[in-house]
Structure 1
Amino acid sequence: MSAIQMPARAQRNIVKPAPRTIAIGDVHGCHVALATLVDGLQLTPHDTLVLLGDVIDRGPDSRGCIDQLLALRKRCRLECIQGNHEQMMLDSIDGLMSIQEWLVHGGAETLDSYGKGFGIGEIEPEHVDFIRSWGDVVERPSHFFAHGNYLASRPLSRQPWRDLRWQSLKWHTPEAHLSGRTAVVGHTANKQAEILNLGHLVCIDTYCHGGGWLTAFDVTTGRVWQAKQTGEFQAAELPPIKTPAAVQF
């Protein structure tokens, strides 16, 4: 047996880590929080990381966040959902929306992350193409992932994109989806930095850009991790289930 060859018995005893599907809530340009959270997750190539959208705008380094995601594709399976802020950026680039309207909703901070005084045409083409590739819904056997909201009585393949990207849970709190799957969403920021658990729906936008936490939720195990833009990191827990009537935003 050579020095680098392992005995057959030892090879059989190697246990591969169980694959995980982990959702991350609205990053909003918080590059330190994202890097801290990803480091704490100890990702493997068997894991799937689902970004729920609104990776850009408002926070200090949207460009750095996109660069981190591009690099993450080499470490795990990455699936990104387009949020309303990504849509505003793309609509501004495509001439479908006033650039000024995007700028006042966080786009100014995004452009500044590419360089002070940069125009919208100077955003890196690789970043624009990457964001264009993001979808609306990610499905798993027991869960589905969307940015903002959904219609409970309509199949996931027929959901209106306006509801998926724009509708706040403050305006409409949906019932359980007809598929029976648990929804995992972001978009509706909880300014007390608390996870919303309705049983059939979990919202993990915990207001990172406003001083709260960036939250990661492993739907395979129920584990939760959180990080702040200050570099703090903690393991947390999914809170007890609330009824919609008890929810306060």
Structure 2
Amino acid sequence: MKRTIAIGDIHGGLKALIQLLEEINITPEDTLIFLGDYVDGWKDSANVVSYLIELAKQNSCIFLRGNHDDLTYRWLKTGELNEQWLQHGGQSSIDAYRGFTSEEIKNHLTFFEQMLNYYIDKQNRLFVHAGFTNLHGPEQEYHESRFYWDRTLWETALSLDKSMPTTHKFYPTRLKLFKEIFIGHTPVSRIDKKKPVKMANVWNVDTGAAFKGKLSGIDVDSKNVWQSQPVYKLYPEEEGRN
């Protein structure tokens, strides 16, 4: 049976990713939509990218661009260093690429360059790392960085009065554009949740793998959820992101 599965922010937790995919019991019939932030966190950032490149040769995969992926790509491509990036997981990616050959890095650059900023499926469901701000939809977005940096979409969904009907004149226009929206970027641990959370029609699948949480996947049709162990338990010698 064909499934479409959205997978949250990995942040270098390759052990958690392998565990999660085994838990899901993926098959070549499944479509895997990765919501971004593959790097910056646990020690396996570069290995996660290598693993995903190989996974895509056997499975149908869609890779969305996260803000951490963009920052790591910029460093790999030009040597650009961002002090905040270094403080929030960037150093772990720099360390992870030590020992990688120029050919391996070239392949990784291609992977980063081929990521999508967003994906809309045939059922009018949007998949994006963070969000978008243009009221006419992501196709009209002015700055592509908002796809992987914006938090206002999630904040809007969080603050929305649950009793407000979609027909209300003040109902957020952005939320009416799609049947459902699947995002990562902002860990649901910030609202004391441990599993993917739905607010309005927005599903947040980032369950804090970079910190003390688990890595999660969700079947976008059945809403069945799978999770790894808490990622920090798989990397007991590390601290993860600050």
Q: TM-score, normalised by structure 2?
A: 0.78
Give the match's secondary structure for 2:18: helix
Residue of structure 1 in register with 2:95 after alignment: 112
Give the match's secondary structure for 1:226: strand
CA–CA separation in structure 1 for the residues paired with 2:8 and 2:61: 14
Contact 2:77 2:109 in 1 (8 A): no
Structure 1: segments with no counterpart, 5+ residues: 1-16, 232-249
1:183 aligned residue (169, 181, 184): 181
Pairing of 1:11-160 with structure 2 (within 5 A) = 17=1, 19-95=2-78, 97-98=80-81, 100-115=83-98, 124-140=105-121, 141-151=123-133, 153-159=135-141, 160=143
CA–CA separation in structure 2 for the residues paired with 1:74 and 1:97: 30
Q: For each residue in 1:141-192, what CA deviation from the matched residue of structure 2 results, as whole angstroms up to 9, or x when unmatched?
A: 1411000112362223123423211122598425353433210000001223
Residue of structure 2 in register with 1:223 after alignment: 224
Paired AA for residue 47 in structure 2: G
Greater relative CO (CA pairs within 8 A, separation 6+): 2
Give the match's secondary structure for 1:70: helix
> Is 1:208 aligned to 2:190, yes or no?
no
Q: For each residue in 1:86-125, what CA deviation from the matched residue of structure 2 results, as whole angstroms up to 9, or x when unmatched?
A: 111122334484355532231211121233xx69979721
Paired AA for residue 125 in structure 1: K
Contact 1:206 1:215 in 2 (8 A): yes
**CA distance 1:73–1:178, change in 2 (3 Å):** same
Contact 1:27 1:209 in 2 (8 A): yes
Residue of structure 1 in register with 2:166 after alignment: none
Paired AA for residue 214 in structure 1: L
Larger % of helix: which?
2
Q: TM-score, normalised by structure 1?
A: 0.76
Give the match's secondary structure for 2:89: helix
Paired AA for residue 62 in structure 1: S
Structure 2: segments with no counterpart, 5+ residues: 158-171, 235-242
Paired AA for residue 223 in structure 1: N
**CA distance 1:125–1:100, change in 2 (3 Å):** farther
Contact 1:154 1:178 in 2 (8 A): no
CA–CA separation in structure 2 for the residues paired with 1:145 and 1:206: 16
Paired AA for residue 37 in structure 1: L
CA–CA separation in structure 2 for the residues paired with 1:120 and 1:85: 22
Considering only CA atoms, is the larger Rg found in Structure 1 or Structure 2? 1
Paired positions, count = 212
Pairing of 1:234-245 with structure 2 (within 5 A) = none
User: Aligned residues: percent identity?
Assistant: 26
